[in-house]
Structure 1
């Protein structure tokens, strides 16, 4: 059994995954293109200001690569976009922690400053939230496709959850 066979396809949720990936991808693409257009030093550790953040040529290229991944996820859509959003969001948060430790050091090859670290955390959480929307929760509604996929024994033939027994019905079983 493959994971993709376990994940349901739901068009309403796919729009959230698709738009989230697309919007965040376009924002990263603009940032990366502005950095390359400024002709920044590729490995400069000091960086120059681009759209309020410190950047160098390497960070611009990395931003464009991640933008391409997110836009590809938006084009593909569905569960693939959701999974890409979750993974990229987690990588952004991880990048924030790693680059926080590299601030003011010679190993700061992406020219990060504190604003970049905060941006990485916030953008990572936004992207991951777009990916997890309607997919990860303790209390998914019974008409949610992920709840249905996890509880096939509790869904009827029409795909709707049967009525759960109320207090009166459960008291009669005593």
Structure 2
């Protein structure tokens, strides 16, 4: 007996996970180089690492942040999206706050202007990566966040809408009922047989669309 084939991750989730891994690795490299140079932990002047200023505390924070990003990417696309979005906001806030404390005793992470610019740019990249495919008024039907949205339960897929638009009007509905009765009694005309078969095909299409929506909504 063969196992069930694992479905490929949705491209939106792939973007979230790849973005988190790439940025996590960049922070790991930066933090590792800082620790390997034995930087003073709470120095406010710092030393140059990859064109940025760093001290021991900033190196440890960079390693921890990179580990969280990579860990969430391994966990799942939705988790990576949430964490990268949150970290994006933290990086932006950090850049703005350190801009106010440059060259002061409160600059405990030894920031310099390149660090501020780096923090702002990384924050924007993290926000874009985390929110990619989540904030849009025209998400495609297979988008996992569109399917999981609470309003989605009351809003059918475009495919379902087309199927529902093909629903027969009231007089055809009456003809279908007559055809269904004739089929049950075993003496339908060829036209009545076609009416019943067409309606059954329409109902199966609706069920397939709903099944695809539920299956896609359960992906990580």
CA distance in 1, matches of 2:44, 2:110: 4
Report if the CA contact (8 A) 2:88-2:127 is conserved. Answer: yes
CA RMSD, aligned part only? 2.1
The Cα of 1:153 is off from its aligned counterpart by 2.2
What secondary structure is seen at the aligned counterpart in 1 of 2:161? coil
**CA separation of 1:104 and 1:160: change in aligned 2, threshold 3 A:** farther
Partner of 1:60 in structure 2?
A: 59
User: Which consecutive aligned stretches of 4+ in structure 1 deviate over 6 angstroms post-superposition?
Assistant: none
From the two aligned structures, give the one with the greater helix fraction.
2
Partner of 2:215 in structure 1?
A: none
Which runs of structure 2 are paired with 1:47-86 in the superposition (5 Å)? 47-86=46-85
Partner of 1:167 in structure 2?
A: none
CA distance in 2, matches of 1:57, 1:160: 56
The Cα of 1:160 is off from its aligned counterpart by 4.0
- The TM-score with structure 1 as length reference comes to 0.82
Larger Rg: 2
Report if the CA contact (8 A) 1:43-1:110 is conserved. Answer: yes
Report if the CA contact (8 A) 2:42-2:55 is conserved. Answer: yes
Report whether the alignment pairs 1:122 with 2:130: no
What secondary structure is seen at the aligned counterpart in 2 of 1:49? strand
Partner of 2:110 in structure 1?
A: 111
Partner of 1:153 in structure 2?
A: 154
Report whether the alignment pairs 1:95 with 2:94: yes
CA distance in 2, matches of 1:87, 1:160: 34
Higher relative contact order (CA 8 A, sep 6+): 1
Mark the runs of 5 or more structure 1 residues left unpaired by the alignment: 1-9, 164-174
Report if the CA contact (8 A) 1:92-1:120 is conserved. Answer: yes
**CA separation of 1:160 and 1:82: change in aligned 2, threshold 3 A:** farther
The Cα of 1:161 is off from its aligned counterpart by 5.2
CA distance in 1, matches of 2:15, 2:54: 30
CA distance in 1, matches of 2:98, 2:49: 18
CA distance in 2, matches of 1:124, 1:161: 39
Deviations 1:131-157 (A, max 9, x none): 11101123323442322333222225x
The Cα of 1:38 is off from its aligned counterpart by 1.1
- The TM-score with structure 2 as length reference comes to 0.65
Query: How many aligned residue pairs are there?
Result: 155
